[in-house]
Amino acid sequence: MIITDTHTHLYSESFDDDRKAMIERAIEVNVKRFFIPAIDSTYTNAMLQLEKDFPKNIFLMMGLHPTHVKKESYNNELKHVEDMLASRKFYAVGEIGIDLYWDKTTLDLQVKAFKHQIQLAKKYKLPIVIHCRNAFDEIFEVLESEKSDDLFGIFHCFTGTFEHAQKAISYNMKLGIGGVVTFKNGKIDQFINQIDLKHVVLETDSPYLAPKPYRGKRNESSYIYKVLEKLSELYEISEEKVAAITTENSKKIFGI
């Protein structure tokens, strides 16, 4: 059985004391593939080092996270994304999108950065990995404006309604399902089994959003097992089958 964590911030400072051991713990429980989203240029070297340390397991994305879209720096940050995409292989443009939880004042800049990076993804024929917080309407408006056969990817950390899920899928997006599916008030557990599993990929978003029973603690990639268990229960199929289908889905998205 091979499990794929399609979204994990393994370079996070939260792992500075035990990063190697934490990754090896995950590999031991069959989490063999880790897809690493970017945040901004300050993390690029750490991401490249991760790939060097675990070349068979680590797959990198490149992008500018919406909470790091700042008036004074976003042009330079987007230039960094452009330069990196032109210089080597990445597996997605991400994570990109709109976040209206932390700062609504940068909405116009976030939309501009999101659209620009979608266009870069199309140029390089790469998937996008979307960050959406308090911004479903705004995200869907951008996706509608960019809709095309070469727009595809993952709606990371999906926490929307059944209707949001259907709409995301209509734009060629898989749903990134993580620890929230195990939460009592997470709500997606109430309808996720109505979505064909071919539209779902697994993720942790570690070190954030740890599943039960680790909720509130540092998340790590080995905890993806709790997401796998929950989906196995909800879909009433074996954990092995959930792992196989979701890993196959990830291969279709990332091309590997």
Contacts of 190 (CB under 8 A, 6+ apart): none
**Pairing state of beta strands 128-133 and 153-155?**
parallel
Distance in angstroms (rounded) separating the CA atoms of residues 193 and 16 = 37
Please tell me the total count of domains within the chain: 1
Question: pLDDT of 108-151, one tens digit each?
Answer: 999 999 999 999 999 999 999 999 999 999 999 999 999 999 99
Concatenate the DSSP letters of all residues of 10-24 into one string. TTSGGGTTTHHHHHH
Residue 109: what pLDDT? 97
Residue 186 has pLDDT above 90, yes or no: no
Range of the domain at 94: 3-254
Residue 15, domain CATH:
3.20.20.140
**Tokens 């997401």 sit at which residue?**
227
Amino acid residing at 203: E
> What pLDDT digit, counting tens, does each position of 198-220 carry?
999 999 999 999 999 999 999 99
- Backbone φ, ψ for residue 202 (5° rounding): -95, 150
Q: Which two tokens stand for residue 114?
A: 């999101």
Helix (H) or strand (E) holding 248: helix 239-254
pLDDT 10s digits, 7-19: 999 999 999 999 9
